[in-house]
Structure 1
Amino acid sequence: MPTFSIILPCFNAEATIATTLASLTAQTFTDWEAICVDDGSTDATVFLIRSAARRDGRIRLVRNSAKGPSAARNMAALNEATGDFLAFCDADDLWVPGKLNRLRETFGDRSIDAVYGRIGFFNTEPGDTGVTSSVPQGDLTIDMLLGENPVCTMSNITLRRGVFERTGGFDPAMVHNEDLDWLIRLVGHGARVVGVDQLHTWYRTSPGGLSTDLAAMAEGRAQALRTAAGLGVRPSRRSHAIHYRYLARRALRTAPGRGAALRLSLSGLLHSPAGFLSPVRRGGLTLGGAFVALMLPRGLRQSLFS
């Protein structure tokens, strides 16, 4: 039985899956299995996974055609995984070589149920944007998640297998923010989730990806708010403001319209000026960018803020 079961949902990932798997085989802690769940790929994804599996017996392929990433993660976590801990990784992200070793050390504290770290955003090569996430102080709370989710991506969360089973898994009906909905249920049911101030994951940005679809994000957040309300939690005005700042920054990158980022920024300021502007550098730059965007054509806006 391995220490870690790594779960990778895959769909038409031929451009990235080989480098993602290479980041797993480069881990300094070697007691793991990687379960690659293909969701009906029509490109070379399956061939590349099988090739990697022939070179490394810790990697294996299972099929879960056309059911979506949530169903793929549930199937692997509940039916295939044998490790003590479940570590999720998307097929286009990369792990820092020492990630699993650091997680093993952190889980030495038996009171900790799940762990996340910092992520670095990249376009082509790790480090090319110079942007990394931050880890707030204290255990993860639902209000943090309803602001600007510090976990950021499923590639940045690892937890004890039994804890995942108690959450009931992901909602396969959700197509956006299903990770946020699950994290809210994870924390709401009493799991202790801690962040460590170490870089764990490289997150590949995609200007046309689902995470840039503001309408889908709004629908997903509405479901997350309903989940939180069912657990007796209402978001603070501060978390609302932080969420609107996050959306404003997304709008600057995707350039849906000149005024979109400014409208979102003003909504955030109305909820909580202190929340939106904390830290001042982040809030102030977002607000300033929203005003500048009013004067720029779409192509220049997208190029400048991407």
Structure 2
Amino acid sequence: MKKISVLIAHYNNGKFFEDCYLSLIHQTFTNWEAIIVDDASTDNSLEIIKSIIKDDARFRLYKNPENKGCGFTKRICMEYATGDICGFLDPDDALFPKALEKSIEKFNDSNIIAAYTKMLMCDENLSPQYVYCGTKQICNDLYFFNCPIQVAHFFTFRKDIYFKTQGINPVLKRAVDQDLYLKILELGRIAYIDEVLYKYRLHSAGISQQSTKQSAKDSFASIIFEAMQRRGIEKIKNRKVPENYTNPEEIYDLIHYQTGLLYRVETKFRLFFYHTNILILLFLECTSTQTFNLTLY
């Protein structure tokens, strides 16, 4: 049975951690570990976390000697992971009970290297507000940059694939997850789980709240530019990719067409024909063995 490592990069979120903890211990899939790396919290978070996890061997708690930032801490989480599959869970968020079970199922297909789900946006008390509508099934190709965001939480991935990438950028403070997604997606197929399995808490201290949105936007543009360089992309829609990153709007302008109606319609057609081809291949495989049974539901 595959094992999943739930990775938690923590900083000053002890007051929210109990919900995160409870969501893990109530998972229907039981072969998991939780790696918690504290980024030198300045409050009493460590004491709170220790009192909650107690002597539960499934939880392993580490601490950075000094504050190093999100990218560094998430990279350290990966170094401690022992599972076959990994996924990041923020300490102020929570999972639905079947999140690990539904995610791990997708990796029964050896061609799948990552999976992602829908997420529920919640208030500070983790009370439901609305389902994030941006999450959709994607066409993963050379020009997919997750902008606008379609791949989000709960994102799980094969550990062996991660170590074939450059890994999480340790100097990043913002858009760390987006950097990880783009690197992983360059190496294989991703599975979309059309279910809400992640609870995302909206609160004033959250890293992605209004006060840091511009910083995250700038970081995301830089990450997209780096992806273009890794992939050897010199032109997009006959427009030249700049040799150096100078202006975030210059990068966003290059891929603005991906927000348009024509592109969305094209994507739907591509997905339709992709699934049609998969069904045809499965049909041919079944008929070639002369043992298939057709059942209509």
Compute the TM-score of the two structures, normalised by the length of structure 2: 0.73
Unaligned runs of 5+ in 1: 238-263, 280-306
* Distance in 2, Cα, partners of 1:41 & 1:142: 39
The reply on whether 1:167 has 2:168 as its aligned counterpart is no
* Distance in 2, Cα, partners of 1:72 & 1:276: 39
Does 23-32 or 142-151 show the bigger shift? 142-151
Contact 1:36 1:59 in 2 (8 A): yes
Change (3 A) 1:36 1:179: same
* Distance in 2, Cα, partners of 1:34 & 1:274: 37
Q: Which residue of 2 aligns with 1:245?
A: none
- What is the one-letter code of the residue matched to 2:117? G
More helix by share: 1
Change (3 A) 1:99 1:216: same
Change (3 A) 1:214 1:68: closer
The reply on whether 1:72 has 2:57 as its aligned counterpart is no
Contact 1:103 1:115 in 2 (8 A): yes
- What is the one-letter code of the residue matched to 2:46? V
Give the share of equivalent positions with the same residue, in percent. Answer: 27
Tell me by how many angstroms 1:71 deviates.
1.4
Contact 1:134 1:197 in 2 (8 A): no
Q: Which residue of 1 aligns with 2:10?
A: 10
* Distance in 2, Cα, partners of 1:4 & 1:273: 33
Superimposed CA distance per residue, residues 276-305 of structure 1 (whole angstroms, 9 cap, x where no aligned partner):
7998xxxxxxxxxxxxxxxxxxxxxxxxxx
* Distance in 2, Cα, partners of 1:111 & 1:200: 23
* Distance in 1, Cα, partners of 2:158 & 2:237: 29
Change (3 A) 1:235 1:210: farther
CA-based RMSD of the aligned residues comes to 3.0
Tell me by how many angstroms 1:82 deviates.
1.1
Q: Which residue of 2 aligns with 1:150?
A: 150
- What is the one-letter code of the residue matched to 1:147? C
The reply on whether 1:51 has 2:48 as its aligned counterpart is no
Does 118-127 or 97-106 show the bigger shift? 118-127
Tell me by how many angstroms 1:227 deviates.
1.2
Contact 2:135 2:149 in 1 (8 A): no
Q: Which residue of 2 aligns with 1:197?
A: 194
Q: Which residue of 1 aligns with 2:244?
A: none
Contact 1:135 1:196 in 2 (8 A): no
Change (3 A) 1:103 1:146: closer
Counterpart secondary structure, 1:226? helix
- What is the one-letter code of the residue matched to 1:168? Q
The reply on whether 1:30 has 2:30 as its aligned counterpart is yes
Change (3 A) 1:216 1:104: same
* Distance in 1, Cα, partners of 2:236 & 2:74: 28
Contact 1:138 1:194 in 2 (8 A): no
